[in-house]
Amino acid sequence: MAGQQFQYDDSGNTFFYFLTSFVGLIVIPATYYLWPRDQNAEQLRLKSLRRVHGRCLWYRLRHMKSQQSIVPTLKKAALLFGWAIFLFLAYKVSKLDREYQEYNPYEVLHLEAGVSIAEIKKQYRVLSLKHHPDKGGDEAMFMKLAKAYSALTNEEARDNWEKYGNPDGPRVTSFGIALPAWIVDQKNSMLVLLVYGLAFMVILPVVVVITSLFILINTTQLFMHFMYKTPTMNMKRLVMVLTAAFEFDPRSNKEAIIRPTDNIEVPQLIRELGNINVKKKEPPFCYPYSLKARVLLLTHLARMDVSENIEEDQRFVMKKCPALLQEIINVGCQLTMMATSRGGLRAPRLTSIENCMKLSQMVVQGLQEAKSPLLQLPHFEEEHLRYCISKKYKVRTLPDLVSLKDSDRRNMLRFLGEEKYDEVMAVLGSIPYINMETKLQVLDDEDSNNVTAGSIVTVTVTLRRKRMSVSSIFRDQGDSKNKTKVWQNKNKGAKKAAKSKKKKLTKKKPVTQQQAKGDKAKHPNGNVAGNDVASASKVEEDDLSDKGSESDEAEGNKDSPSERDEESDKQSDTEVDEIEWEALQQSIQRRERALLETKSKVTHPVYSLYFPEEKQEWWWLYIADRKEQTLVSMPNHVCTLKDTEEVELKFPAPSKTGNYQYSVILRSDSFMGLDQIKPLKLEVHEAKAMMDNHPQWDIPETEEEEDDQEDSDGIEESEEDEEDND
């Protein structure tokens, strides 16, 4: 009886197949992702950004790096070495002979299938004399010939070969493992364990740590503790919590450095900054690493000059801050969801989460909270703001500056030269200007526009990015002004038309004597002109109705007006249903495409004078109840807005009916003064009662009677059968 057998590859042939496939799976994707791109493309990109971002710190640091770096050369050498190994293994595999060949005794004897036994014996005699070992022939070949001869001349062996493919009968089922036998040899066990340990316990964790952008678990737990402890967190407290992250602790992160000169330079900076809660004894705010990180962050926001060592550490801290602030926001959202679902827990206030978003803007732009957003522009200093906030111009934000006339802007910015003014306008034109449109629906309900208590509300927000150029905003403002003028003109025209109609109506029309007498008799002291108009209109209606009745009688079999109205209502209902169905299908398709698509997070570089790393334009979009200071929907971090982006915000409707006033809020994580708040009115109705008897379960009485009759007939037949059996 056939059995099973597991065996390793002693010859190593199948192992070469496995090794070739394994190396190919590594080398081919690595070449696609790691092969150094053309350096000229990066240089051209930087050159195109120079006019706008030339003064940014990240641009100057990128430009200062030497173009002839050794890293691309090492990458190319490693990839070429991998390809050399892959090609060698492929060549080795191509030269390997097939180990398994289907056994055919006719081929061994060099005969065609179906020949007679006499021809088999004759051929065997010839070949056996040629390959006999006593006459210097090949012993292995002679044994194959003898086996083939026996398989074709012996009836039992011939039956086994025809049934099982082997003259000896059914063979053992063999499962080959594409590894050489020396790997499982006891002598090489320590070497194999050492290789596995290096691969999975040293190399793999190091690669994961290097390429990982996640936050340390201890830092997340720290943020969770303080967000729950302090639901309402002001900016000073938030700075302390942020700089207490374990990413800044040398014991947890080797990139963080504590220098001997910190004992001299850090206290000096503390004296210059003033009150920064140095005497705070609460851990970990009192630890040296936390105090140093706090000082570095505050000096960055104050745009203070520091030494080279402090500046290097400051850049390290600033690069970590945006990701850490995003983690604090995520923690706040988790606590809010836990408090909403479980109850009894304190949810963070809306101000705490919004302070994290404001601090992210402050870190990227290197500005304190109370500073003017105009200081984000180049060549703007504190002493220049008095020209902008004067009573004549009243410019406090970037949109205010853009909305000025060119002559007023040039006059206000007269302290700038022509070149500096052009640079300011180029930077101002690169700053984004977002158009936000909202649409409220209940997608899973039959009536998508009716919000019922407890239903899942979907707010679809369409974001369109434009450049904050003077022409675009002026064009938008001009369109709005033109629209108002047209609207006013329409009203004026309507008023004029109404007046003219009144004048026409007040003119007396020739009427019959009977109508005039009747009107005077009814209203002796009334307005005769008005009565004349009313009577005339009635006469016209009667004439029209008479004509209509005559035409109906002439047509004969036409539908009545009520039937036509019913048909038109049915058509309108079907059209509305088709429109809603198409909208639902389009929304489903959009969601499916969003799940399948992987969009790049490279959007547009942020203009930031003091941030040490190139930052992309990202946004937070969420719905909040500003009166109750709570989140309605969790903040969506929009990282793929290049030109247009559609975002769906979902939240459960309140359980009580009534009108609710929410706000759709869009905040930048990089720019100050570009936040937008749009009101969202929500009218919640009572939920529809569940139908006990749905129409689809209504069964006609005739069908029920037929079923009952069939059941009764079946019962009677079964009783008769039983009686017959008895």
Q: Let me know: does 434 contact 467? Beta carbons within 8 Å.
A: no
CA neighbours closer than 13 Å in the CB half-sphere of residue 701: 0
Of the two residues 300 and 169, the one the predictor is more confident about is 300
Q: At what angle do helices 308-342 and 288-301 cross, to 10 degrees?
A: 100
Burial class (CB in 10 A: 0-12, 13-18, 19+), 246: buried
pLDDT band with cut points at 50, 70 and 90 for residue 486: very low
Q: What is the residue extent of each domain of the chain?
A: 8-95, 105-164, 217-431, 455-474+598-684
CA–CA distance, 176 with 281 (Å, rounded to integer): 67
What value does the mean pLDDT take over residues 654-665? 94
Q: Let me know: does 671 contact 616? Beta carbons within 8 Å.
A: no
pLDDT at 482 over 70: no
Torsion angle in degrees (nearest 10) through CA of 134, 138, 143, 147: -120
The pLDDT score that the predictor gives to residue 315 is 95
The pLDDT score that the predictor gives to residue 41 is 73
Q: How far is CA 670 from CA 346, 601, 644, in A?
A: 29, 15, 19
The pLDDT score that the predictor gives to residue 265 is 92
pLDDT at 407 over 70: yes
Determine which of 143-157, 173-187, 316-330, 427-441 has the lowest per-residue pLDDT on average.
173-187
Mean pLDDT, the chain, integer:
77
pLDDT at 316 over 90: yes
Q: What amino acid occupies position 42?
A: E
Handedness of CA 241, 244, 246, 248 (dihedral sign): positive
The pLDDT score that the predictor gives to residue 303 is 94
Question: Tens digit of pLDDT for each residue in 596-612?
Answer: 566 788 999 999 999 99
pLDDT at 235 over 90: yes
In 3D, which of 377, 399, 401, 376 has the Cα closest to residue 387?
A: 401
Cis peptide, bond prior to residue 695, ω within 30 of zero = no
Fold of 105-164: Helix Hairpins (1.10.287)
Burial 38-72 (b: 16+ CB within 10 A, else e): eeeeeeeeeeebeebbeebbbbeeeeeeeeeeeee
Reduced to 3 states (helix: H, G, I; strand: E, B; else coil), residue 456 is: strand
Strand residue runs (E) in 205-273: none
What value does the mean pLDDT take over residues 63-84? 77
Per cent of the chain over pLDDT 90 is 38
What value does the mean pLDDT take over residues 166-190? 64
pLDDT at 475 over 50: no
Q: Let me know: does 637 contact 620? Beta carbons within 8 Å.
A: yes
Q: How far is CA 596 from CA 32, 589, 593, 599, in A?
A: 22, 11, 5, 10
Q: Let me know: does 639 contact 616? Beta carbons within 8 Å.
A: yes
CA–CA distance, 80 with 428 (Å, rounded to integer): 46
Fold of 455-474+598-684: Immunoglobulin-like (2.60.40)
Q: Which residues pair with 618 in a beta bridge?
A: none
Of the two residues 197 and 611, the one the predictor is more confident about is 611
Question: Tens digit of pLDDT for each residue in 549-606?
Answer: 444 444 444 455 555 555 565 566 666 566 666 766 666 666 666 555 667 889 999 9
Question: Tens digit of pLDDT for each residue in 8-55?
Answer: 555 556 777 778 888 888 899 888 888 876 666 777 888 889 889 999
Fold of 217-431: Sec63 N-terminal domain-like fold (1.10.3380)
CA–CA distance, 608 with 319 (Å, rounded to integer): 13
The pLDDT score that the predictor gives to residue 591 is 63
Burial class (CB in 10 A: 0-12, 13-18, 19+), 685: middle
pLDDT at 443 over 90: no
What value does the mean pLDDT take over residues 222-244? 94
Q: Which helix (H) or strand (E) holds 458?
A: strand 456-467
The pLDDT score that the predictor gives to residue 632 is 94
What value does the mean pLDDT take over residues 425-432? 92
Q: Let me know: does 69 contact 14? Beta carbons within 8 Å.
A: no
pLDDT at 358 over 50: yes
Q: Which residues pair with 644 in a beta bridge?
A: 464
Handedness of CA 705, 707, 708, 710 (dihedral sign): positive
CB atoms closer than 10 angstroms to residue 129: 10
CA–CA distance, 48 with 39 (Å, rounded to integer): 14
Reduced to 3 states (helix: H, G, I; strand: E, B; else coil), residue 698 is: coil
Question: Tens digit of pLDDT for each residue in 130-160?
Answer: 888 877 777 888 888 887 887 777 777 777 7
Per cent of the chain over pLDDT 70 is 67
Nearest 5°: phi and psi at 434? -105, 130
**Model pTM above 0.85:** no
Handedness of CA 224, 229, 235, 241 (dihedral sign): negative
CB atoms closer than 10 angstroms to residue 166: 13
Q: Which residues pair with 460 in a beta bridge?
A: 439, 648
The pLDDT score that the predictor gives to residue 489 is 42
Reduced to 3 states (helix: H, G, I; strand: E, B; else coil), residue 174 is: strand
What value does the mean pLDDT take over residues 525-553? 41
Token pair in block for residue 70: 């050794």
Q: What is the 3-state secondary structure (H, E, C) of 361-389?
A: HHHHHCCCCCCCHHHHCCCCCHHHHHHHC
Nearest 5°: phi and psi at 459? -105, 110
Task: List helix spans (H) across 343-450.
Answer: 350-365, 385-388, 398-403, 406-412, 418-430
CA–CA distance, 285 with 291 (Å, rounded to integer): 7
Determine which of 179-188, 269-278, 430-439 has the lowest per-residue pLDDT on average.
179-188
Burial class (CB in 10 A: 0-12, 13-18, 19+), 495: exposed
Q: Which residues pair with 678 in a beta bridge?
A: 664
Cβ partners under 8 Å of residue 143, min gap 6 = none
Q: Let me know: does 457 contact 442? Beta carbons within 8 Å.
A: yes
What value does the mean pLDDT take over residues 638-646? 93
